[in-house]
Structure 1
Amino acid sequence: MHEMAIAEGVLDIALDYAKKNNAQRISEIGLLIGEMSGVVVESLEFSFNMIAKGTIAENAKIVVKRTPLIGRCTKCGKEFHVEHYDFWCPECKDGVLSILSGREMQVEYLEVD
C-alpha cells in the first residue's frame, strides 16, 4: 500500500512546517493529487489518520484537489484530457505527447494554529 508511505511523507512535511512556524495544531492539509498518480484517496486518508494520532496533526482535515490527466500532442499541438490511459491524439491520431498535468502529488497548503 503506497498510500501509507505517502501519508508518512505528508505528515512529515506538515509537522516540519508546523515546528518551523511554532504552530500548536494542524487543522487542515490541502493536497494536489493527479489523476495519473494512482493514489486511492480513501486509503491515503485512512493511513494519515492512523499515523497522525498523538501528534498536532491528529484530526486534521485532508482536502484533496484532483488534477486531470492533460496531454499535448507533439505533432499537432492539440491539448486534451487523456481518458482511460488512451494517449492517442484525438485530432491527428499520433501517439506521442507530453504530459501537462495529472502526475501531481504534493502538499498544496497547510492551515495551522
Structure 2
Amino acid sequence: MSIVESLEVSAKANNYKAIDKVWLEIGPFSGVEVSALEFSFEVAVRGSIANGAELEIIQTQANAWCFSCNKTVMIKQRYDACPLCSSSQLTVTGGEELKIKQISIKE
C-alpha cells in the first residue's frame, strides 16, 4: 500500500491523470517476496491513480564494501565472505532497496 500511496502523491504533485506502468527496483535483501508483491499490486491499485497499471520488477544485485581489500563486491547472502580476499569484514551497500524506479503516465 505504501507504493500506491507514493504513486498517488507523485501523481498529485505532477498533475498526472493516470499511471499505466510502474517499474520497481527490488533487492534480494529487501524482505519482499516478488510473487506476492506482483499478486497484491493488482489488488492494491484498484480505484487508485494506477488502476490497471502494469508492474515491471527490476531485481537488483546485492553488493558489499570489503574493509580488507577496499573494494565493492557482489554477494549472494548477507554474511558471505569477500569473493576477492575471503575477509568477513563486509558491510552491505546494496540489495536492500524497494523503490519506484520509473512510472509511465497515460496521456
Shared fold per TM-score greater than 0.5: yes
**Higher helix share goes to which structure?**
1
Could you list the per-position Cα deviations for residues 64-87 of structure 1 after superposition, in whole angstroms to 9, with x for gaps in the alignment? 111101112101124322124442
User: Would the aligned equivalents of 1:33 and 1:103 in 2 still touch at CA under 8 Å?
Assistant: yes
Quote the residue 1:35 is aligned against.
Answer: 28
State percent identity of aligned pairs.
29
Length, aligned pairs only = 106
User: Would the aligned equivalents of 2:23 and 2:57 in 1 still touch at CA under 8 Å?
Assistant: yes
Deviation at 1:21, TM superposition (A): 2.0
User: Would the aligned equivalents of 2:78 and 2:92 in 1 still touch at CA under 8 Å?
Assistant: no
User: Would the aligned equivalents of 1:78 and 1:89 in 2 still touch at CA under 8 Å?
Assistant: no
Structure 1 regions of 5+ residues with no counterpart?
A: 1-7
Quote the residue 2:95 is aligned against.
Answer: 102
For 2:61, give the aligned amino acid. Answer: P
TM-score for the superposition, normalised by structure 2: 0.86
TM-score for the superposition, normalised by structure 1: 0.82
Quote the residue 2:64 is aligned against.
Answer: 71
Equivalent positions of 1:1-113 (< 5 A) are 8-113=1-106
Could you list the per-position Cα deviations for residues 2-24 of structure 1 after superposition, in whole angstroms to 9, with x for gaps in the alignment? xxxxxx01100111111222222
